[in-house]
Amino acid sequence: MLRFLNQCSRGRGAWLLLALTAFALEMVALWFQHVMLLKPCVLCIYERSALFGVMGAGIVGAIAPQSPLRYAGILIWIYSAWRGVQLAWEHTMIQLHPSPFQTCDFAARFPSWLPLDKWLPQVFVASGDCAERQWSFLTLEMPQWLVGIFVVFLVIGLLVLIAQPFKPKKRDLFGR
């Protein structure tokens, strides 16, 4: 399996699939916001940013999958997935155990060099409350689903990183 993951990480297809998966999840988030009129909270916006990180990792890896740039894509992927797990877990705990002492901010705080909320307010401006439960599917709230999604991204990213030293087997004429 590790040799297979190494081989996949050296081709554009797997990286583009990673980016496309994250993009599809972003489109679902925007559909929830603009069509179903759910209000994203600050943690939702940060989780959305982590998904953009995973999508960016897919794009970085797809640029030159045979080069060492692939390692940058893997590191961005793992970092973004890890931050996504942390944020979704925090969000889940706020929803499952609401407290007036544990709340989220009113507005997302992005660095001054990357004011995403100013550049794309339709995507990065928060308007909801983190403790409010707005949507569930199969008894799980949205942050609980995101914990699972980010864990899957993280596990696969770690497996791809572990697989990097395992070179694909070279086959001879007789398939050995």
Q: What is the pLDDT of residue 76?
A: 93
Q: Which of 3, 8, 104, 133 is catalytic?
A: 104
Q: Which of 3, 44, 171, 176 is catalytic?
A: 44
Condensed to tens digits (0 to 9), the pLDDT of residues 20-68 reads 999 999 999 888 888 888 888 888 888 989 999 999 999 998 888 888 8
Q: Which of 3, 8, 12, 48 is catalytic?
A: 48
3-state SS of 2-54?
HHHHHHHHCCHHHHHHHHHHHHHHHHHHHHHHHCCCCCCCHHHHHHHHHHHHH
Comparing 16 with 38, which gets the higher pLDDT? 16
The DSSP output letter for 71 is H
Q: pLDDT-derived band of residue 173, with 50, 70 and 90 as boundaries?
A: low
**Per-residue tokens: 78:** 């793992």
**Per-residue tokens: 57:** 């990792």
Is 166 exposed, middle or buried, given 0-12, 13-18 or 19+ CB atoms closer than 10 A? middle
Q: Active site includes 41?
A: yes
CA distances from 99 to 18, 88, 95 (A): 36, 17, 9
Domain ranges of the chain: 1-164
How much is the pTM? Answer: 0.80
Of 27-36, 143-152, 166-175, minimum mean pLDDT range: 166-175
CATH number of 1-164: 1.20.1550.10
Q: Which of 12, 70, 83, 130 is catalytic?
A: 130
Condensed to tens digits (0 to 9), the pLDDT of residues 66-110 reads 888 888 899 999 999 999 999 999 888 888 777 776 667 777 777
Q: Active site includes 8?
A: no
